[in-house]
Structure 1
Amino acid sequence: MTVSEQKETVPAGYWKDANGSLVPVGKIKEIDKLRHQCVTGLAEAAKKASADLLSFKLCAMQEVQAFIDTSLATYDVRQGGKKGNVSLVSFDGRYKITRTMQDTIVFDERLQAAKALVDECVKAWSKGSNDNIKVLVNNAFQVDKAGAVNVGRILNLRTLEIADEKWQRAMKAIGDSMKVHSTKPYIRFYELDEQAGDYVPISLDVAAL
Protein backbone atom coordinates (compact mmCIF):
# COMPACT_ATOMS: atom_id res chain seq x y z
CA MET A 1 0.00 0.00 0.00
CA THR A 2 1.37 3.37 -0.99
CA VAL A 3 1.56 6.42 1.25
CA SER A 4 -1.21 8.10 -0.76
CA GLU A 5 -3.44 5.04 -0.36
CA GLN A 6 -2.80 5.06 3.39
CA LYS A 7 -3.83 8.70 3.56
CA GLU A 8 -7.07 7.93 1.74
CA THR A 9 -8.10 5.45 4.44
CA VAL A 10 -8.24 8.23 7.03
CA PRO A 11 -11.79 9.62 7.23
CA ALA A 12 -12.34 13.33 6.81
CA GLY A 13 -12.11 15.20 10.09
CA TYR A 14 -9.62 12.76 11.59
CA TRP A 15 -5.85 12.43 11.81
CA LYS A 16 -4.07 9.13 12.34
CA ASP A 17 -1.55 9.22 15.20
CA ALA A 18 1.72 7.28 15.55
CA ASN A 19 -0.16 4.32 17.07
CA GLY A 20 -2.53 4.11 14.12
CA SER A 21 -5.48 5.47 16.10
CA LEU A 22 -7.91 7.91 14.50
CA VAL A 23 -8.10 11.19 16.41
CA PRO A 24 -10.72 13.87 15.68
CA VAL A 25 -9.06 17.01 14.37
CA GLY A 26 -10.88 19.06 17.00
CA LYS A 27 -9.17 17.07 19.75
CA ILE A 28 -5.68 17.78 18.46
CA LYS A 29 -3.80 20.69 20.03
CA GLU A 30 -2.79 23.52 17.74
CA ILE A 31 0.87 23.13 18.70
CA ASP A 32 0.71 19.46 17.69
CA LYS A 33 -0.79 20.44 14.34
CA LEU A 34 1.93 23.03 13.78
CA ARG A 35 4.64 20.52 14.73
CA HIS A 36 3.18 17.98 12.30
CA GLN A 37 3.05 20.54 9.50
CA CYS A 38 6.61 21.69 10.19
CA VAL A 39 8.09 18.18 10.29
CA THR A 40 6.07 16.82 7.37
CA GLY A 41 6.74 19.80 5.13
CA LEU A 42 10.48 19.77 5.73
CA ALA A 43 10.72 15.98 5.48
CA GLU A 44 8.91 15.98 2.13
CA ALA A 45 11.25 18.71 0.89
CA ALA A 46 14.23 16.69 2.13
CA LYS A 47 13.00 13.62 0.24
CA LYS A 48 12.81 15.64 -2.96
CA ALA A 49 16.27 17.12 -2.36
CA SER A 50 17.61 13.61 -1.71
CA ALA A 51 16.11 12.34 -4.96
CA ASP A 52 17.55 15.33 -6.84
CA LEU A 53 20.96 14.71 -5.27
CA LEU A 54 20.88 11.04 -6.27
CA SER A 55 19.97 12.01 -9.82
CA PHE A 56 22.83 14.53 -9.86
CA LYS A 57 25.27 11.88 -8.59
CA LEU A 58 24.28 9.41 -11.30
CA CYS A 59 24.54 12.07 -14.01
CA ALA A 60 27.92 13.21 -12.66
CA MET A 61 29.24 9.65 -12.62
CA GLN A 62 28.08 9.07 -16.19
CA GLU A 63 29.55 12.35 -17.40
CA VAL A 64 32.91 11.68 -15.76
CA GLN A 65 33.03 8.19 -17.25
CA ALA A 66 32.06 9.54 -20.67
CA PHE A 67 34.93 12.03 -20.48
CA ILE A 68 37.37 9.28 -19.45
CA ASP A 69 36.25 7.14 -22.39
CA THR A 70 36.72 10.10 -24.74
CA SER A 71 40.18 10.82 -23.35
CA LEU A 72 41.29 7.19 -23.65
CA ALA A 73 39.89 6.98 -27.16
CA THR A 74 42.47 9.52 -28.32
CA TYR A 75 45.04 6.78 -27.70
CA ASP A 76 42.87 4.04 -29.23
CA VAL A 77 42.37 2.60 -25.76
CA ARG A 78 39.15 1.26 -24.31
CA GLN A 79 38.76 0.83 -20.57
CA GLY A 80 37.79 -2.65 -19.52
CA GLY A 81 37.25 -4.41 -16.24
CA LYS A 82 37.22 -2.60 -12.95
CA LYS A 83 37.28 1.17 -13.25
CA GLY A 84 39.88 2.83 -11.06
CA ASN A 85 40.31 6.11 -9.24
CA VAL A 86 40.68 9.32 -11.20
CA SER A 87 41.22 13.02 -10.48
CA LEU A 88 40.10 15.72 -12.93
CA VAL A 89 41.06 19.39 -12.67
CA SER A 90 39.56 22.31 -14.59
CA PHE A 91 41.82 24.20 -17.02
CA ASP A 92 42.08 27.19 -14.67
CA GLY A 93 42.75 24.94 -11.68
CA ARG A 94 39.78 26.29 -9.76
CA TYR A 95 37.82 23.06 -9.52
CA LYS A 96 38.74 19.44 -8.99
CA ILE A 97 36.64 16.28 -9.18
CA THR A 98 37.74 12.93 -7.80
CA ARG A 99 36.11 9.60 -8.49
CA THR A 100 37.15 6.78 -6.22
CA MET A 101 36.16 3.14 -6.13
CA GLN A 102 35.98 1.67 -2.63
CA ASP A 103 35.95 -2.09 -2.18
CA THR A 104 33.98 -3.80 0.55
CA ILE A 105 36.14 -6.66 1.77
CA VAL A 106 34.77 -9.78 3.44
CA PHE A 107 36.46 -12.92 4.72
CA ASP A 108 35.45 -16.53 4.13
CA GLU A 109 35.79 -19.50 6.50
CA ARG A 110 39.59 -19.51 6.19
CA LEU A 111 39.70 -16.55 8.56
CA GLN A 112 38.80 -19.01 11.32
CA ALA A 113 41.91 -21.03 10.44
CA ALA A 114 43.96 -17.85 10.66
CA LYS A 115 42.47 -17.05 14.06
CA ALA A 116 43.26 -20.54 15.36
CA LEU A 117 46.89 -20.22 14.22
CA VAL A 118 47.20 -16.73 15.70
CA ASP A 119 45.78 -17.95 19.02
CA GLU A 120 48.40 -20.71 19.07
CA CYS A 121 51.13 -18.15 18.43
CA VAL A 122 49.94 -15.92 21.27
CA LYS A 123 49.86 -18.85 23.70
CA ALA A 124 53.33 -19.98 22.65
CA TRP A 125 54.96 -16.60 22.99
CA SER A 126 56.89 -16.09 26.19
CA LYS A 127 55.85 -13.56 28.84
CA GLY A 128 58.79 -11.42 27.82
CA SER A 129 57.43 -10.82 24.33
CA ASN A 130 55.88 -7.51 23.28
CA ASP A 131 52.63 -7.11 25.21
CA ASN A 132 51.48 -4.42 22.79
CA ILE A 133 51.57 -6.93 19.94
CA LYS A 134 49.56 -9.37 22.04
CA VAL A 135 46.88 -6.74 22.66
CA LEU A 136 46.81 -5.83 18.97
CA VAL A 137 46.43 -9.48 18.00
CA ASN A 138 43.76 -10.21 20.59
CA ASN A 139 41.71 -7.17 19.56
CA ALA A 140 41.97 -7.89 15.84
CA PHE A 141 39.42 -10.69 15.84
CA GLN A 142 36.84 -9.02 18.05
CA VAL A 143 33.43 -8.72 16.41
CA ASP A 144 30.87 -5.94 16.52
CA LYS A 145 27.19 -6.24 17.44
CA ALA A 146 26.44 -7.59 13.97
CA GLY A 147 29.07 -10.30 14.37
CA ALA A 148 31.44 -8.74 11.82
CA VAL A 149 35.17 -8.29 12.28
CA ASN A 150 36.94 -4.99 11.69
CA VAL A 151 38.66 -5.30 8.31
CA GLY A 152 41.25 -2.66 9.16
CA ARG A 153 42.37 -4.42 12.34
CA ILE A 154 42.64 -7.75 10.53
CA LEU A 155 44.71 -6.26 7.72
CA ASN A 156 46.97 -4.49 10.23
CA LEU A 157 48.13 -7.91 11.42
CA ARG A 158 49.69 -8.51 8.02
CA THR A 159 51.92 -5.47 8.48
CA LEU A 160 53.58 -6.95 11.57
CA GLU A 161 57.03 -8.37 10.87
CA ILE A 162 56.96 -11.58 12.90
CA ALA A 163 59.36 -14.33 11.82
CA ASP A 164 57.29 -17.25 13.03
CA GLU A 165 56.37 -20.06 10.64
CA LYS A 166 52.95 -20.53 12.20
CA TRP A 167 52.33 -16.78 12.13
CA GLN A 168 53.25 -16.66 8.45
CA ARG A 169 50.75 -19.44 7.74
CA ALA A 170 48.12 -17.45 9.60
CA MET A 171 48.84 -14.37 7.49
CA LYS A 172 48.59 -16.45 4.32
CA ALA A 173 45.23 -17.78 5.49
CA ILE A 174 44.04 -14.20 6.01
CA GLY A 175 45.15 -13.26 2.50
CA ASP A 176 43.49 -16.32 0.99
CA SER A 177 40.24 -15.64 2.86
CA MET A 178 39.87 -12.07 1.58
CA LYS A 179 37.18 -11.45 -1.03
CA VAL A 180 35.91 -8.25 -2.62
CA HIS A 181 32.18 -8.38 -1.89
CA SER A 182 31.26 -5.19 -3.72
CA THR A 183 32.73 -1.99 -5.08
CA LYS A 184 31.06 1.36 -4.46
CA PRO A 185 31.90 4.49 -6.45
CA TYR A 186 32.28 7.87 -4.79
CA ILE A 187 32.47 11.27 -6.46
CA ARG A 188 33.68 14.38 -4.67
CA PHE A 189 33.96 18.00 -5.71
CA TYR A 190 36.54 20.57 -4.62
CA GLU A 191 37.27 24.26 -5.11
CA LEU A 192 40.69 25.83 -4.79
CA ASP A 193 41.27 28.09 -1.81
CA GLU A 194 43.75 30.46 -3.41
CA GLN A 195 44.94 31.90 -0.10
CA ALA A 196 45.64 28.52 1.47
CA GLY A 197 46.69 26.91 -1.79
CA ASP A 198 44.63 23.80 -1.08
CA TYR A 199 41.44 22.35 -2.47
CA VAL A 200 38.50 22.42 -0.09
CA PRO A 201 35.48 20.12 -0.44
CA ILE A 202 32.24 21.43 -1.92
CA SER A 203 29.95 19.90 0.67
CA LEU A 204 26.83 18.04 -0.43
CA ASP A 205 26.12 16.93 3.14
CA VAL A 206 23.32 18.97 4.73
CA ALA A 207 24.75 18.38 8.21
CA ALA A 208 28.10 19.83 7.15
CA LEU A 209 26.71 23.04 5.68
Structure 2
Amino acid sequence: MEVVFIEQPSATEAAAGLVIANGRSYISDAKGNLVPIENVRAEDKLQDETVRKIMGFARDLSAQIARFRSHTVADLGSFDALLEQEYGSKIGGQKGNRTYQTFDGCLKVQVQVSDQISFGPQLQIAKSLIDGCIMEWSEGSRDEIRALVMRAFNTEKEGQINKSDLFMLLRLDIRDERWLRAMDAIRNSITVTGSKEYVRFYERDTPKDDWRAITIDLAKA
Protein backbone atom coordinates (compact mmCIF):
# COMPACT_ATOMS: atom_id res chain seq x y z
CA MET A 1 0.00 0.00 0.00
CA GLU A 2 1.48 3.31 -1.09
CA VAL A 3 2.01 5.90 1.62
CA VAL A 4 0.74 9.32 0.53
CA PHE A 5 2.64 12.35 1.74
CA ILE A 6 0.66 15.59 1.43
CA GLU A 7 3.01 18.51 0.91
CA GLN A 8 2.45 22.17 1.70
CA PRO A 9 1.46 23.83 -1.60
CA SER A 10 2.81 27.21 -2.59
CA ALA A 11 0.49 30.22 -2.50
CA THR A 12 0.04 29.98 -6.26
CA GLU A 13 -0.72 26.26 -6.12
CA ALA A 14 -3.17 26.73 -3.25
CA ALA A 15 -4.96 29.52 -5.14
CA ALA A 16 -5.31 27.13 -8.08
CA GLY A 17 -6.89 24.51 -5.82
CA LEU A 18 -3.97 22.10 -6.23
CA VAL A 19 -2.99 19.43 -3.72
CA ILE A 20 0.63 18.24 -3.84
CA ALA A 21 1.09 14.59 -2.86
CA ASN A 22 4.26 12.54 -3.37
CA GLY A 23 5.54 15.20 -5.70
CA ARG A 24 2.49 15.08 -8.01
CA SER A 25 -0.24 17.70 -8.49
CA TYR A 26 -3.84 16.75 -7.82
CA ILE A 27 -7.14 18.58 -7.73
CA SER A 28 -10.21 17.59 -5.71
CA ASP A 29 -13.40 16.69 -7.52
CA ALA A 30 -16.93 17.37 -6.21
CA LYS A 31 -16.85 14.09 -4.23
CA GLY A 32 -13.57 14.91 -2.50
CA ASN A 33 -11.48 12.53 -4.59
CA LEU A 34 -7.98 13.61 -5.59
CA VAL A 35 -7.63 13.53 -9.39
CA PRO A 36 -4.19 13.88 -11.02
CA ILE A 37 -4.14 17.23 -12.75
CA GLU A 38 -3.05 15.64 -16.03
CA ASN A 39 -6.21 13.52 -15.99
CA VAL A 40 -8.53 16.51 -15.85
CA ARG A 41 -10.02 17.55 -19.21
CA ALA A 42 -8.74 20.81 -20.65
CA GLU A 43 -12.17 22.45 -20.65
CA ASP A 44 -12.73 21.46 -17.00
CA LYS A 45 -9.36 22.94 -16.03
CA LEU A 46 -10.16 26.14 -17.95
CA GLN A 47 -13.56 26.42 -16.26
CA ASP A 48 -11.97 25.85 -12.85
CA GLU A 49 -9.31 28.50 -13.50
CA THR A 50 -11.92 31.00 -14.79
CA VAL A 51 -14.22 30.60 -11.78
CA ARG A 52 -11.30 30.83 -9.31
CA LYS A 53 -10.08 34.01 -11.02
CA ILE A 54 -13.54 35.64 -10.89
CA MET A 55 -14.08 34.55 -7.28
CA GLY A 56 -10.75 36.08 -6.28
CA PHE A 57 -11.87 39.45 -7.65
CA ALA A 58 -15.34 38.98 -6.10
CA ARG A 59 -13.92 38.35 -2.61
CA ASP A 60 -11.67 41.40 -2.87
CA LEU A 61 -14.54 43.56 -4.11
CA SER A 62 -16.88 42.27 -1.39
CA ALA A 63 -14.31 43.12 1.29
CA GLN A 64 -13.78 46.55 -0.28
CA ILE A 65 -17.53 47.26 -0.31
CA ALA A 66 -17.83 46.12 3.31
CA ARG A 67 -15.03 48.53 4.30
CA PHE A 68 -16.64 51.30 2.24
CA ARG A 69 -20.00 50.76 3.94
CA SER A 70 -18.38 50.77 7.39
CA HIS A 71 -16.51 54.00 6.62
CA THR A 72 -19.66 55.60 5.17
CA VAL A 73 -21.72 54.75 8.25
CA ALA A 74 -18.95 56.00 10.53
CA ASP A 75 -18.52 59.27 8.60
CA LEU A 76 -22.26 60.00 8.52
CA GLY A 77 -22.56 59.01 12.17
CA SER A 78 -19.84 61.48 13.12
CA PHE A 79 -21.56 64.23 11.16
CA ASP A 80 -24.93 63.38 12.76
CA ALA A 81 -23.32 63.51 16.21
CA LEU A 82 -21.98 67.01 15.52
CA LEU A 83 -25.43 68.22 14.45
CA GLU A 84 -27.05 66.62 17.48
CA GLN A 85 -24.51 68.28 19.76
CA GLU A 86 -25.14 71.62 18.08
CA TYR A 87 -28.94 71.52 17.92
CA GLY A 88 -29.91 68.90 20.49
CA SER A 89 -31.89 66.83 17.99
CA LYS A 90 -31.14 63.91 15.71
CA ILE A 91 -31.26 64.38 11.95
CA GLY A 92 -33.91 62.28 10.24
CA GLY A 93 -36.39 62.25 13.10
CA GLN A 94 -37.82 59.09 14.58
CA LYS A 95 -37.81 57.13 11.31
CA GLY A 96 -34.16 57.80 10.58
CA ASN A 97 -34.41 58.65 6.86
CA ARG A 98 -32.00 61.42 5.94
CA THR A 99 -30.34 63.11 2.97
CA TYR A 100 -26.93 64.76 2.69
CA GLN A 101 -25.81 67.01 -0.19
CA THR A 102 -22.74 68.87 -1.31
CA PHE A 103 -22.86 72.67 -1.21
CA ASP A 104 -23.22 72.87 -5.02
CA GLY A 105 -26.22 70.50 -4.98
CA CYS A 106 -24.64 68.03 -7.41
CA LEU A 107 -23.78 65.12 -5.10
CA LYS A 108 -26.18 63.42 -2.72
CA VAL A 109 -26.11 60.58 -0.20
CA GLN A 110 -29.44 59.19 0.99
CA VAL A 111 -30.00 56.94 3.98
CA GLN A 112 -33.31 55.08 3.98
CA VAL A 113 -34.47 52.98 6.92
CA SER A 114 -36.89 50.24 5.91
CA ASP A 115 -38.93 48.45 8.56
CA GLN A 116 -38.97 44.66 8.43
CA ILE A 117 -42.45 43.49 9.34
CA SER A 118 -44.37 40.29 9.93
CA PHE A 119 -48.10 39.59 10.04
CA GLY A 120 -49.97 37.90 12.88
CA PRO A 121 -53.05 35.63 12.87
CA GLN A 122 -55.36 38.64 12.59
CA LEU A 123 -54.53 38.60 8.87
CA GLN A 124 -56.57 35.42 8.40
CA ILE A 125 -59.54 37.11 10.08
CA ALA A 126 -59.15 40.04 7.69
CA LYS A 127 -59.08 37.69 4.70
CA SER A 128 -62.30 36.00 5.86
CA LEU A 129 -64.09 39.34 6.26
CA ILE A 130 -62.86 40.56 2.87
CA ASP A 131 -63.99 37.33 1.20
CA GLY A 132 -67.46 37.90 2.70
CA CYS A 133 -67.61 41.36 1.14
CA ILE A 134 -66.46 40.14 -2.26
CA MET A 135 -69.00 37.29 -2.34
CA GLU A 136 -71.87 39.74 -1.84
CA TRP A 137 -70.72 42.22 -4.46
CA SER A 138 -72.57 41.81 -7.72
CA GLU A 139 -70.74 40.18 -10.61
CA GLY A 140 -68.60 42.71 -12.45
CA SER A 141 -68.74 45.16 -9.56
CA ARG A 142 -65.43 46.38 -8.18
CA ASP A 143 -63.43 43.96 -10.31
CA GLU A 144 -60.27 46.01 -9.71
CA ILE A 145 -60.67 45.47 -5.96
CA ARG A 146 -61.18 41.75 -6.46
CA ALA A 147 -57.94 41.60 -8.46
CA LEU A 148 -56.10 43.60 -5.80
CA VAL A 149 -57.29 41.23 -3.07
CA MET A 150 -56.19 38.23 -5.13
CA ARG A 151 -52.73 39.71 -5.58
CA ALA A 152 -52.43 40.80 -1.95
CA PHE A 153 -53.16 37.36 -0.54
CA ASN A 154 -51.72 35.45 -3.50
CA THR A 155 -54.32 32.72 -3.12
CA GLU A 156 -52.54 30.37 -5.54
CA LYS A 157 -49.70 30.01 -3.01
CA GLU A 158 -51.00 29.14 0.41
CA GLY A 159 -49.69 31.40 3.15
CA GLN A 160 -48.13 33.92 0.77
CA ILE A 161 -48.96 37.63 0.81
CA ASN A 162 -47.91 40.66 -1.20
CA LYS A 163 -47.12 43.47 1.23
CA SER A 164 -47.38 46.35 -1.25
CA ASP A 165 -50.80 45.24 -2.50
CA LEU A 166 -51.92 44.54 1.06
CA PHE A 167 -51.09 48.10 2.05
CA MET A 168 -53.00 49.31 -1.03
CA LEU A 169 -56.13 47.74 0.47
CA LEU A 170 -55.75 49.99 3.51
CA ARG A 171 -55.96 53.07 1.26
CA LEU A 172 -59.28 52.15 -0.33
CA ASP A 173 -62.28 54.25 0.74
CA ILE A 174 -64.91 51.54 1.33
CA ARG A 175 -67.56 52.13 4.00
CA ASP A 176 -68.77 48.52 4.37
CA GLU A 177 -68.67 47.64 8.10
CA ARG A 178 -67.03 44.26 7.51
CA TRP A 179 -64.44 45.86 5.23
CA LEU A 180 -63.58 48.41 7.93
CA ARG A 181 -63.21 45.62 10.50
CA ALA A 182 -60.99 43.74 8.04
CA MET A 183 -58.76 46.80 7.65
CA ASP A 184 -58.50 47.10 11.45
CA ALA A 185 -57.52 43.42 11.58
CA ILE A 186 -54.79 44.01 8.98
CA ARG A 187 -53.39 46.94 10.95
CA ASN A 188 -53.46 44.93 14.18
CA SER A 189 -51.67 42.02 12.48
CA ILE A 190 -48.61 44.11 11.60
CA THR A 191 -45.57 43.73 13.84
CA VAL A 192 -42.26 45.53 13.21
CA THR A 193 -39.58 42.89 13.77
CA GLY A 194 -36.58 45.04 12.91
CA SER A 195 -35.22 47.51 10.41
CA LYS A 196 -32.61 47.64 7.67
CA GLU A 197 -30.64 50.67 6.60
CA TYR A 198 -29.94 51.37 2.92
CA VAL A 199 -27.39 53.93 1.73
CA ARG A 200 -27.79 55.25 -1.81
CA PHE A 201 -25.61 57.61 -3.83
CA TYR A 202 -26.56 60.12 -6.55
CA GLU A 203 -24.86 62.69 -8.74
CA ARG A 204 -25.74 65.24 -11.44
CA ASP A 205 -23.81 67.69 -13.56
CA THR A 206 -25.76 70.80 -12.54
CA PRO A 207 -28.50 71.51 -9.98
CA LYS A 208 -30.99 71.66 -12.88
CA ASP A 209 -30.25 68.12 -14.10
CA ASP A 210 -31.92 64.90 -12.96
CA TRP A 211 -30.13 62.77 -10.39
CA ARG A 212 -28.17 59.72 -11.62
CA ALA A 213 -27.75 56.81 -9.24
CA ILE A 214 -24.23 55.54 -8.60
CA THR A 215 -24.92 51.82 -8.61
CA ILE A 216 -23.00 49.31 -6.54
CA ASP A 217 -25.44 46.39 -6.94
CA LEU A 218 -24.01 44.12 -9.68
CA ALA A 219 -27.52 43.46 -11.01
CA LYS A 220 -27.96 47.17 -11.73
CA ALA A 221 -24.40 48.26 -12.57
TM-score scaled by length of structure 1: 0.85
| Deviation of the 1:77 alpha carbon | 3.1
The CA distance in 1 between the partners of 2:144 and 2:185, in whole Å, is 23
User: Counterpart in 1 of 2:68?
Assistant: 56
The CA distance in 2 between the partners of 1:85 and 1:137, in whole Å, is 30
User: Counterpart in 1 of 2:174?
Assistant: 162
Amino acid at match of 1:107: F
User: Counterpart in 1 of 2:102?
Assistant: 90
Q: Tell me, yes or no, if the aligned pair for 2:19 and 2:25 is still in contact at 8 Å.
A: no
TM-score scaled by length of structure 2: 0.81
| Deviation of the 1:128 alpha carbon | 5.3
Amino acid at match of 2:218: V
User: Counterpart in 2 of 1:113?
Assistant: 125
Aligned residues: 204
The CA distance in 2 between the partners of 1:40 and 1:74, in whole Å, is 51
Q: CA RMSD in A?
A: 2.7
Q: Where does structure 2 lack aligned partners over 5 or more consecutive residues?
A: 1-13
* SS class of match (1:175): helix
| Deviation of the 1:38 alpha carbon | 1.8
What is the 5 A alignment of 1:37-48? 37-48=49-60
User: Counterpart in 1 of 2:213?
Assistant: 201
Q: Tell me, yes or no, if the aligned pair for 1:99 and 1:188 is still in contact at 8 Å.
A: yes
The CA distance in 2 between the partners of 1:168 and 1:207, in whole Å, is 41
Q: Tell me, yes or no, if the aligned pair for 2:99 and 2:109 is still in contact at 8 Å.
A: yes
Q: Tell me, yes or no, if the aligned pair for 2:112 and 2:198 is still in contact at 8 Å.
A: yes
2:80 to 58, 68, 89: 68
User: Counterpart in 1 of 2:183?
Assistant: 171
| The structure with more radius of gyration | 2
Among all aligned residue pairs of Structure 1 and Structure 2, give the percentage whose two residues are the same amino acid. 36
| Deviation of the 1:93 alpha carbon | 2.1
Q: 1:100 to 1:146 in 2, by over 3 A?
A: farther
Moved over 6 A (4+): 7-10
The CA distance in 2 between the partners of 1:109 and 1:166, in whole Å, is 17
Amino acid at match of 1:16: S
The CA distance in 2 between the partners of 1:133 and 1:143, in whole Å, is 15
Amino acid at match of 1:69: A
Of structures 1 and 2, the one with the larger relative CO (CA 8 A, separation 6+) is 1
* SS class of match (2:53): helix
| Deviation of the 1:10 alpha carbon | 7.3
